[in-house]
A and B are shown apart, each in its own frame.
Chain A
Amino acid sequence: MSAARIELTEQPGGRLARLSGRWTLATTSQCAAELVARLDEAARAESTWDCSALEAIDSAGAMLLWRAWGRTFPELLLIRPEHRRVFERIDLADHEPRAVQVPLSPLQGVMVIGAASIGVVRHLVDFVAMIGQFAIDLLHLIRVPADMPWREISANLYKSGVRAMPVTALVGFLIGVVLSYLSALQLKQFGADIFIVNIIGLGIVRELGPVLVAILVAGRSGSAMTAQLGVMRVTEEIDALSTMGVQRGLRLIFPKVAALTLALPLLVLWSTAIALAGGMVSAQVQLDISYGFFFQTLPRVVPVANLWIGLAKGAVFGMFIALVACHFGLRVRPNTESLSSNTTASVVTAITVVIILDAIFAIATRSIGLPG
Chain B
Amino acid sequence: MTAAVIRIEDLATRFGETWIHNGLNLEIAAGELVSLVGGSGSGKTTLLRQVIGLLLPTRGRIELFGQPLFGGGIARERALRQRFGVLFQHGALFSAFNVFDNIAFPLRELKRYDEDAIHDLVMLKLSMVELLPRHGRLMPAELSGGMVKRVALARALALEPELLLLDEPTAGLDPDRSDSFVRLIRMLSEELGLTVMLVTHDLDTLAALSTRVAVLAEQRILAYGAVDEIMQIDHPFIRNFFLSERSVRALQNVAHAPL
Contact = CB atoms under 8 A, between A and B. Distances in A.
The yes or no verdict on A and B being binding partners is: yes
Interface of A: 140, 146, 231, 235-237, 239-240, 242-247
B90 interface: yes
A245 B79 contact: yes
A247 B75 CA distance: 11
B248 to A, nearest CB: 33
Interface stretch (B28-36, B105-113, B219-227): B105-113
Contacts of B79: 245
Given A146-B111, A245-B79, A247-B74, A239 B105 contact: no
B94 to A, nearest CB: 6
Contacts of B90: 235-236
A239 B74 contact: no
A244 B109 contact: yes
B59 interface: no
B167 to A, nearest CB: 9
A63 B109 CA distance: 64
A318 B119 CA distance: 38
Given A245-B78, A245-B81, A245-B82, A239 B109 contact: no
Closest 7 CB pairs of A and B: A245-B81, A245-B78, A236-B92, A240-B92, A243-B86, A236-B88, A243-B52
B155 to A, nearest CB: 8
A245 B88 contact: no
Contacts of A242: 53-54, 81
B95 interface: yes
A240 B92 CA distance: 6
B54 A243 contact: yes
A240 B88 contact: yes
A140 B74 contact: yes
Interface of B: 49, 52-54, 74, 77-82, 84, 86, 88-90, 92-95, 105-106, 109, 111, 159
A239 B84 CA distance: 14
9 contacts: A146-B111, A231-B95, A242-B54, A242-B81, A243-B84, A244-B105, A245-B109, A246-B78, A247-B74
Nearest to B167: A236
Nearest to B106: A244
A65 to B, nearest CB: 39
Nearest to A241: B94
Contacts of A140: 74
A240 B96 CA distance: 14
A244 B81 contact: yes
B247 to A, nearest CB: 30
Contacts of B111: 146
Which of A146, A237, A245 has the most C-beta atoms of chain B within 10 angstroms of its own C-beta?
Answer: A245
A235 B152 CA distance: 13
Contacts of B78: 245-246
A237 B155 CA distance: 13
A149 to B, nearest CB: 11
A140 B73 CA distance: 10
A237 B54 contact: no
Nearest to B49: A239
B129 to A, nearest CB: 17
B109 A246 contact: yes
A245 B54 contact: no
Nearest to B158: A244
A237 B86 CA distance: 12
B95 A237 contact: yes
Nearest to A240: B92
B104 to A, nearest CB: 12
Residue of B49, B77, B92 ringed by the most chain A CB atoms within 10 A: B92
A239 B54 contact: yes
Contacts of A237: 92-95
A140 B105 CA distance: 22
Among A231, A239, A240, find the residue whose CB has the most chain B CB atoms closer than 10 A.
A240
Nearest to A231: B95
Contacts of A246: 78, 109
Contacts of B95: 231, 235, 237
Contacts of A244: 81-82, 105-106, 109, 159
Contacts of B77: 245
Contacts of A240: 86, 88, 92-94
Given A239-B54, A243-B81, A245-B80, 17 more contacts: A140-B74, A146-B111, A235-B90, A236-B89, A237-B93, A237-B95, A240-B88, A242-B53, A242-B81, A244-B81, A244-B82, A244-B105, A244-B109, A245-B78, A245-B79, A245-B82, A245-B109
Contacts of A235: 90, 92, 95
Contacts of A239: 49, 54, 88, 92
Contacts of A243: 52-54, 81, 84, 86
B151 to A, nearest CB: 12
A125 to B, nearest CB: 16
A271 B114 CA distance: 42
Residue of A237, A239, A242, A243 with most chain B CB atoms under a 10 A cut-off: A243
Contacts of B82: 244-245
Contacts of B84: 243
A104 B104 CA distance: 56
Nearest to A244: B106
A245 to B, nearest CB: 3
Contacts of A231: 95
B114 to A, nearest CB: 15
Contacts of B81: 242-245
A340 B86 CA distance: 29
A247 B89 CA distance: 22
A140 B49 CA distance: 27
A122 to B, nearest CB: 15
Contacts of A146: 111
